[in-house]
Chains A and B, each alone.
Chain A
Amino acid sequence: MYLIGGLFLGWSLGANDAANVFGTAVGSRMVRFRTAAIMCSLFMIFGAVVQGSGGAETLNSLGSVGSLRDAFIVTISAAITVFGMSYFGLPVSTSQAVVGAIIGWNLFAGMPTDAIVLKKILLTWILCPFLAAMFAIPLFALMKIYVKYTSIHLLKQDAILRWGLLAIGAFGSFSLGANNIANVMGVFIPSVALQDIGFAGLTFSGAKQLFFIGALAIAAGVFTFSARTMKTVGGKLFKLSPESALIVVLAHSLVLFVFSSSWLSAFVSGLGLPSIPLVPVSSSQAIVGAIIGIGLMRGGYGINYKVLGEISIGWVATPVASALLVLGMLSVGL
């Protein structure tokens, strides 16, 4: 019953953020919605179960929400914040709402908030759109060269592009599931004790089972409500060619992958470099960052710098709203 908060958050994540991965492909009719929804759901579930633990550990080290009831209040507050801010057209991120809600719970419960972890999370949020832009710039330059100098017939390029959108969409869905599942189910891990399950020679820990349930909620969001957002994103948010959209989704997916891959983080540490923080980041902000990167490559014309301002306001406003909501709910004894 208490899982409903997380499931609702998962559903809303599927309904909204799947559009970041497959929006342009579906909106421009390069990929059918049904194909996109199936691919997106399968790879999100796969990413969540296989690679979702890193972000969850970071969130739980920020504040270990002790009981199921409190975890419910944290997730439902985050969900209400996301829903409310989206309703009023304000930029919002599930990751930021969840972090705010955890801090709100820490404040109410008198638990300390780990300043180092918080600093790491904040830094990652700021890095997310910039890194997406950094990935998008060289990728877009390569794409331009390919488009200009290839002698492959446009119709064959179109076929390659469709397969590319599907493949990168699958990678994007995997990364989104891996990175954002922590928002949906992370706070339940300390309070829900599930027995390990063995299946086909593999062992699924309690956390992985929770991630699987959360990912099913995300998939439900994809199938029930993302069709409209995908078509809206494809037609309105970014007027990009399918080639540019491919780069945007790839840059976004790389950012989410970087901040969720424990393997990559360990590899970087092994090279003697600082380890990559495994933190849930905003999928939408990664998309905006990548679009701005492409805009800069085109000479900076038509970039809506207001969006950057709105993102930075969101970095503060979303967690604060979410934290206040948790404090309010706990104070009235919910």
Chain B
Amino acid sequence: MGIYAIRVPDIGEGIAEVELVTWHVQPGDMVAEDQSIADVMTDKATVEIPSPVAGKVLALGSAVGDTIAVGSELVRLEVEGAGNLKENSAPAPVHQAQVAPVSIAKNNPPAAAPTQPVAPAQIASVSSRPGAAPRSAPAVARAAGERPLASPAVRQRALDMGLELRYVHGSGPAGRILQGDLDAHAAAGGQVQAQGPAGYAERHGEEAIPVIGLRRKIAQKMQESKRRIPHFSYVEEIDVTELEALRAKLNQLHGATRGKLTVLPFLARAMVLALREFPQINARYDDEAGVVTRYAGVHLGVATQTEGGLMVPVLRHAESLDLWACAAGIASVAEGARSGKAARDALSGSTITLTSLGALGGIASTPVINHPEVAIVGVNRMVERPMLRGGQVVGRLLMNLSSSFDHRVVDGMHAAQFIQAMRALLETPALLFVE
């Protein structure tokens, strides 16, 4: 029997640290070779880490939400034959001190034998961001039949209040129910159902949600973008009556065989064509190096809402795709992002981004540029309005485009001209197909 330490692998160029998102194993579990042991997140990609060997999990090196350095110990396994660690090396630095996060786990991870000295973090980065107070301990989930933890005074007061402690959330260490938890529970309607409509009861619940994982990435990117980029936004109204007629016709003719088209592939096509005249907008600006890189191809970021939050998968070489290929491509990358199966390179390298909220588009929005790109185009709601055309009031389908540009490298006039070019293409959709 040997001890084998699995270290965080080098996942991609330039990646020094990853965030631990999910454990797939717990101490005591048997792991087969190539079985996924954990998900870690880099940039915006979530990567599964497989076990290179078969063995039994001895200890986890980190807690969910921790940022860990590439090369640091992730898991310690007991394996047949010799491992890659000496048996007598210091016990795995399990989170002896940091109890709470570990305790989320259903199976209790074995702490290092209490009589042995605990090696101070041999793993480079174990938990603790500096200054990060222990996250308010997630309560230990009480197993069925397990008694709630509360002092005698709290228990007695709960009886007096007619509260069943089983249903009260314990905010104290180890899920201990405190006097304040009783108040909060009662205030949240735990007991006062009978007195007046509960809808008007004061509510005092608070829930601290740690910003970790994808949400932290999103927060960092948004902050970075808004902090670095002087945005300027431009909103223009587009008459899409003709475009919609064309789309309806195409769907009628080819919908059954080639798939239904949404308005997005048309917008993508219009962007591709308009960008030929405005290469400074299809670009990435490395502001530290002071270089704007313009791209011949259009790698279109498609802002996508996923369960975890906003992601921007990339449709590569949108300029090479016809409407249906483009539609299929958008559907494919969006699905990849939503299911979490997107490969890392499917989530980076976009040169401009398209964002659409569909029917929720509103009349205008101020999209945040996907740094280090320099432009983003947002699609607002399509609506039929009475318009004057040749002195006659006619019903037309109108839709706004709300776009933002990096004003450091894109001048207002060029941005306006770019959007006007898109507008011209969209209002006379035949032009979309003229080379």
A binds B: no
